[in-house]
């Protein structure tokens, strides 16, 4: 089955800063989409959307036909409409996968789903980042070099104010001595969530072959197992006599056993 992927990017830096456009001429979303298509081929159908699109490109119709969303944001978090955030949250709770990238840790959708500030320490001096695999058996780590090096990257460091992750797949170390839980997973409702920190707009991180491998793996991991995307909801069923129903089921099973024995 083809996995339908939507790469969402606020696309502000590339639209307003020539030096960022030179790094990502097709936008960060374009670079990520290119990497997914390159590694996953016919397994995925990749679309892109940006903040400037009507309803940020996240209409109900788009979300209905999307299996996994990749989310990159930085300076435009406050410009994302709350109604759209609620719509995406509902999609994730119903089973749509969500991959949050780099400074997307402060996005409305990530903080709302995790329920914490998602704050961290940071310093942007173009330092070397070494990404270490801490869960080599996890599907997201499949085929990823251990470790791999990003020559220049923004430093993200602990403490990272997130709930306890279900899996810590990667941890990063930096030249200044800091470490950071750079690849972690969560589940909310039926939806799988992966946060991956490498990817500042000032560096060509999304062209790095190991970063592309991680994202391709994450898409496969986060894709929902079922087409059923009903959001978990409170129900108000009519009163039923469950004891009587259980007794009737047991009586039926006993009758079936007696009939089987009689025919031997």
Question: In the structure, what pLDDT confidence band is assigned to residue 238 with cuts at 50, 70 and 90?
Answer: confident
Q: What average pLDDT does this structure show over 66-78?
A: 97
8-state DSSP, 142: T
Phi-psi map region of 229: left, alpha, beta (phi>0 left; psi -120 to 50 alpha): alpha
Question: Taking Cα atoms as reference points, which of 136, 6, 165, 157 lies closest to residue 71?
Answer: 6
* CATH number for the segment(s) 3-222: 3.40.50.880
Given a cut of 80, whether residue 19 has pLDDT beyond it is yes
> What is the per-residue pLDDT for 85?
98
CA distance linking residue 138 with residue 132, whole number of Å? 13
The secondary element (H helix, E strand) that includes residue 154 is strand 148-157
Instruction: Kindly indicate the confidence band of residue 123, based on its pLDDT and cuts at 50, 70 and 90.
Output: very high
Token pair 């020539």 in the structure block, residue: 18
Mean pLDDT of the chain: 93
Q: Distance between CA atoms of 34 and 51, rounded to whole angstroms?
A: 19
Confidence of residue 101 (pLDDT cuts 50, 70, 90): very high
Q: Do residues 4 and 229 make contact, with C-beta atoms less than 8 angstroms apart?
A: no
pLDDT at 256 over 70: no
21 contacts: CB under 8 Å, gap ≥ 6: 14, 15
* pTM of the predicted model as reported, rounded to 2 decimal places: 0.88
125: which 2 tokens? 């001096």
Q: Which two tokens stand for residue 226?
A: 């079922």
Chain position carrying tokens 């309803």: 55
Name the maximum alpha-carbon separation found in the chain: 85
Q: What pLDDT is recorded for position 245?
A: 78
- Amino acid 171: pLDDT: 98
Instruction: Give me the DSSP letters along 185-204.
Output: EEEETTEEEEEE----TTTT
SS3 label, residue 100: strand
- Residue-range domain boundaries for the chain: 3-222
């Amino acid at each position: 089955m083809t996995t339908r992927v939507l790469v969402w990017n606020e696309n502000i830096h590339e639209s307003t800063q020539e030096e960022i456009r030179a790094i990502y001429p097709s936008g960060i979303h374009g670079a990520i989409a290119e990497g997914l298509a390159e590694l996953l081929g016919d397994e995925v159908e990749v679309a892109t959307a940006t903040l400037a699109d009507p309803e940020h490109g996240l209409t109900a119709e788009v979300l209905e036909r999307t299996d996994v969303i990749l989310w990159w944001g930085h300076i435009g978090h406050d410009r994302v409409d709350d109604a759209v955030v609620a719509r995406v949250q509902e999609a994730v709770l119903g089973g749509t996968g969500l991959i949050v990238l780099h400074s997307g840790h402060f996005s409305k959708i990530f903080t709302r789903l995790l329920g914490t500030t998602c704050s961290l320490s940071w310093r942007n001096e173009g330092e070397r980042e070494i990404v270490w695999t801490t869960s080599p058996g996890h599907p997201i780590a499949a085929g990823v070099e251990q470790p791999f090096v990003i020559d220049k990257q923004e430093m993200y460091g602990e403490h990272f104010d997130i709930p306890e992750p279900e899996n810590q797949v990667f941890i990063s170390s930096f030249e200044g001595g800091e470490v950071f839980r750079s690849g972690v997973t969560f589940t909310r409702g039926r939806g799988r969530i992966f946060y991956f920190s490498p990817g500042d707009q000032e560096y060509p991180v999304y062209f790095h072959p190991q970063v592309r491998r991680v994202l391709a793996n994450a898409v496969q991991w986060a894709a929902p197992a079922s087409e059923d995307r009903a959001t978990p909801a409170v129900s108000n069923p009519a009163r039923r006599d469950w004891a009587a129903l259980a007794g009737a089921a047991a009586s039926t099973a006993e009758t079936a056993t007696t009939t089987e024995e009689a025919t031997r």
